[in-house]
Amino acid sequence: VQLQASGGGLVQAGGSLRLSCAASGTVFSIDSMGWYRQAPGNERELVAAITSGGMTNYADSVKGRFTISRDNAKNTVYLQMNSLQPEDTAVYYCNSNLRRVGALEYVNYWGKGTLVTVSS
């Protein structure tokens, strides 16, 4: 199983980016999916998460600016980021609790990060 993230890049302050993360391989079922970020010198922090039923949770710093969504048929989670600010600059990581085909338990997976740089 792999989580493949895409959509990072360089954007000016006030701009927008959309991140995508697709789970591939022998995926049987996905519970929660989410995005974390880590800026230089900082710990990794939760940005947003979404359950299989569509319930969402956001960090206070991104509420009203970021929107998380998912396409269960495509095993994909998205993060629409609007009104980006320099403090949003970080490596963004996709995360998911999922069950592989033939497995009995859900396991937490991380994708490789995608860099988001916001210039002032």
Question: Can you give the pLDDT of all 120 residues of the chain as single tens digits?
Answer: 999 999 999 999 999 999 999 999 999 999 999 999 999 999 999 999 999 999 999 999 999 999 999 999 999 999 999 999 999 999 999 999 999 999 999 999 999 999 999 999
Note the pLDDT of residue 23: 96
* Cβ(48)–Cβ(35) below 8 Å: yes
Quickly count: other Cβ atoms within 10 Å of residue 57's Cβ.
14
Cα gap 75→63, rounded to integer Å: 24
pLDDT recorded at residue 55: 97
User: Residue 66: what pLDDT?
Assistant: 98
